Amino acid sequence: MKRLTLKKLIVISQSESRSLEVPFEDGLNIIWGENKTGKSSIIKSIFTTLGCECKRVETDWKKLISAYLLFFKYGERKF
């Protein structure tokens, strides 16, 4: 059985002139932090990049993000 493994997420915001790179390690990855530090934004970015429509998404969040890049492995193939 092939496994989908997330390797890295890059979120780019041209309006804020910044980007965020989130690396993922092999095994379990836990995202934690204080309120309003971007935990939900990371999850929404992953789902959006995979083609999912996130319900209850704040319109401000969608306007801030210019591009999402998700690096992952499926079986032995890298994407």
Q: What is the pLDDT of residue 72?
A: 95
Angular region, 46: left φ>0, alpha ψ -120 to 50, beta rest: alpha
Q: What is the pLDDT of residue 28?
A: 93
Q: Give this prediction's pTM.
A: 0.78
CA 30 to chain centre: 13
pLDDT tens, position by position, 55-76: 765 666 667 788 889 999 999 9
Q: Report yes or no: 47 and 54 within 8 Å, Cβ to Cβ.
A: yes
pLDDT tens, position by position, 18-59: 898 999 999 999 999 999 888 888 888 898 888 888 776 566
Q: How far is Cα 20 from Cα 68, in angstroms, rounded to an integer?
A: 10
Dihedral Cα 27, 21, 33, 13, nearest 10 deg: -140
